[in-house]
Amino acid sequence: MNKTIVAENAPAAVGPYCHGKLAGNTLYTSGQLGLIPSTGELPEGVEAQAAQALDNLQAVLAAAGMTCADVVKTTVFLADMGDFAAINAIYAKYFPGESPEGNSLAPARSCVQVAALPKGALFEIEAVAVK
């Protein structure tokens, strides 16, 4: 059985979709832009947009009873691959690389440059999480 996830602390969807779908123990999220939930506006710069998008992703995860630790795969969409290093520094704050035992805690990830993102955004992220 599927359950629709709607996060009160994430910006409303900008199209006919939901924040996420929980299928059994697996959550599939829709892409999260760096929209500020209270205003629907994008902050200036890729770093600010990436941090806000990751905060929005955390809100969707929380609405499903999950955290970043439950994420097994992300896909990052960039308007400019030249921003790769800058977003990695921000991404690492949400998904730390290794446990004290040396095990990787970071999820699998793909990162692609796209021709354009909705609302002229510079960064978008989607995730799959398993509880």
Active site residues: 111
**Strand bridging mode 20-23 / 2-5:** antiparallel
Nearest to 78 by CA among 36, 110, 35, 42: 110
CB–CB of 23/131 below 8 Å?
Answer: no
CB–CB of 5/17 below 8 Å?
Answer: no
Nearest to 130 by CA among 75, 57, 64, 85: 64
Task: Give the residues across from 125 on adjacent strands.
Answer: 32, 76
